[in-house]
A = this chain, B = another copy of it.
Amino acid sequence: MLDVYTQIASIPIGYNHPALTKVMTDPKNMCSMILYCVIPGRCTLLTDSNPRINGMKSNNSSSYMTGGFSRVQTMACGSCSNENAYKAIFIWYRNKMRGTPEPTPEEVRTSVINQVPGCPDLTLLSFMGGFHGRTLGCLATTHTKAIQKLDVPSFDWPIASFPQLRYPLDQFERENAREEARCLEEAEDLIVKWNQKGRHVAGVVIEPIQAEGGDNHASFDFYTKLRGITKKHGCAFLVDEVQTGGGSTGKFWAHEHWGLDDPADIVSFSKKMLTGGYYQKDSFQPDKPFRIFNTWLGDHTKNLLLTEVIKVIKTENLLDQAKRSGKVMLEGLYDLQDKYPHLLSKARGIGTFCAIDVKDEDTRNLLLLKARNKGVVLGGCGTQSIRFRPALVFKEHHAHLFLDIFNDAITELK
């Protein structure tokens, strides 16, 4: 099988990489493997508590990695990462409003029984089509499919439109710029209005590319301006890199493409990082221990594997590899949509993080099946898109192989 989906973008360097086998057969790692530990050191700096991961920061000239962030909080999965990042945002915002981290006796009393002011009526702004996880807090910011949210109580929080760009991008520059301006204006209006009615917007959460929602892109200019709006209104800016992070866009984090000095307050991750977690600015570290905590806070074994993955990414220059393979992929997808314009459209992507639309959902699902029967594993997203999520070891010849088989699968549709 040629896996161009990799367990929903979760296999960073392919199956059974010898470097990872070595980590797991190293007797000195046995202790991590057979028990979970509560390691309080993990609550503070990963960079302090794990010098091998600290190495990622200081030596990792080819990627952003921890750049700009001095603190990291590990968690077991993407949903827990966002849930706890949301908590960090709310705590930060309330401390700012109060002018002190010390709560009033009334806040202490009411917090235990879920009432204001202890449990304040703060909100997070999210975007239509965004996906940030499936636990109750995360679900309140997830707006992709009804099946994920139906029947589950939620928070009434503001939701802004995400730009619906027209393709090919170079033919619709003016329309797309207008669409992005509209969405930015809407987001800012929502922040102002919700603040005015006392339901303050503590933070804005967004993906650099809406993945589950259909590989929806917006321009770097859109993200730059949105970052500006959050600063203007004192909202935290959380960039959810659970699916985009880890190198497949050709940079370690997709938000590096924006080219900003201060792209985010918090960056959450999981999937290719093998452990969940989030990087945060110092100011988002809660003022007291046990405000952000759980029994396991992730799994140290995954940190050991991640350390090795980072080494392999550097040694094998896999970020450059993703750029090269991505170029073959995207050019091949452009060719295919030219060849089958009645079937395919909107080929798009950065690095190997590519997608293409199929004319309708049923045809998309049939194409996924036909590709699977020919030995290529693919995944859908949105209503009618196919997303491509190969591992970082996916090389140019894999891209060519994939394109050939994909073409064969398409011809069977006609």
Judged by a CB distance under 8 angstroms, whether A143 is at the interface is: yes
CA of A152 to CA of B107 in the docked complex: distance in angstroms?
11
CA of A150 to CA of B147 in the docked complex: distance in angstroms?
32
Judged by a CB distance under 8 angstroms, whether A288 is at the interface is: yes
- CB atoms of B21 and A35 under 8 A apart: no
Judged by a CB distance under 8 angstroms, whether A113 is at the interface is: yes
Judged by a CB distance under 8 angstroms, whether A146 is at the interface is: yes
- CB atoms of A7 and B79 under 8 A apart: no
Judged by a CB distance under 8 angstroms, whether A196 is at the interface is: no
CA of A7 to CA of B7 in the docked complex: distance in angstroms?
31
- CB atoms of A114 and B156 under 8 A apart: yes
**A153 CB contact (under 8 Å) in B77, B84, B119:** B119
- CB atoms of A290 and B148 under 8 A apart: yes
A60 to chain B, nearest CB (A): 22
Judged by a CB distance under 8 angstroms, whether A154 is at the interface is: yes
Judged by a CB distance under 8 angstroms, whether A227 is at the interface is: no
Judged by a CB distance under 8 angstroms, whether A325 is at the interface is: no
Identical subunits present: 2
Which A14-44 residues have C-beta < 8 A from chain B? 15-17, 20-21, 23-25, 30-31, 33-38
- CB atoms of A114 and B80 under 8 A apart: no
Instruction: Contacts A77-B294, A295-B8 given; indicate if A153 touches B90 (C-beta within 8 A).
Output: yes
Q: Which residues of B contact A181 (CB under 8 A)?
A: none
Which A283-301 residues have C-beta < 8 A from chain B? 288, 290-296, 299, 301
Which of A120-128, A313-321, A334-342, A360-368 forms part of the interface with chain B?
A120-128
Judged by a CB distance under 8 angstroms, whether A136 is at the interface is: yes
**A36 CB contact (under 8 Å) in B7, B25, B103, B109:** B7
A31 to chain B, nearest CB (A): 7
Instruction: Contacts A30-B21, A294-B133, A295-B7 given; indicate if A149 touches B119 (C-beta within 8 A).
Output: yes
CA of A93 to CA of B144 in the docked complex: distance in angstroms?
23
- CB atoms of B80 and A77 under 8 A apart: yes
Q: Which residues of B contact A299 (CB under 8 A)?
A: 299
Q: Which residues of B contact A296 (CB under 8 A)?
A: 10, 77
Q: Which residues of B contact A133 (CB under 8 A)?
A: 294
Judged by a CB distance under 8 angstroms, whether A187 is at the interface is: no
Q: Which residues of B contact A154 (CB under 8 A)?
A: 114, 119
Residue of B nearest to A243 (CB): B295
Judged by a CB distance under 8 angstroms, whether A263 is at the interface is: no
Judged by a CB distance under 8 angstroms, whether A329 is at the interface is: no
Given A77-B80, A123-B153: 13 more A-B contacts, CB < 8 Å: A77-B295, A80-B80, A80-B135, A84-B135, A87-B136, A95-B151, A111-B146, A112-B149, A113-B159, A118-B150, A133-B294, A135-B136, A147-B291
Please name the 7 residue pairs, one residue from A and one from B, whose CB atoms are nearest each other, closest first: A136-B137, A119-B154, A94-B151, A76-B76, A114-B154, A83-B135, A20-B34
Q: Which positions in A face B, CB cutoff 8 Å?
A: 7-8, 10-11, 15-17, 20-21, 23-25, 30-31, 33-38, 76-80, 83-84, 86-87, 90-91, 93-95, 103, 107-109, 111-115, 118-123, 128, 133-137, 140, 143-157, 159, 270-271, 274, 288, 290-296, 299, 301, 305
List 28 A-B residue pairs with CB atoms under 8 Å apart, sorted by A's residue number.
A7-B35, A7-B295, A8-B295, A20-B34, A21-B30, A24-B24, A36-B274, A76-B76, A77-B295, A86-B136, A87-B134, A87-B136, A87-B152, A94-B151, A108-B146, A111-B150, A112-B149, A114-B140, A114-B156, A114-B159, A115-B156, A119-B149, A119-B154, A133-B294, A134-B292, A135-B136, A136-B140, A299-B299
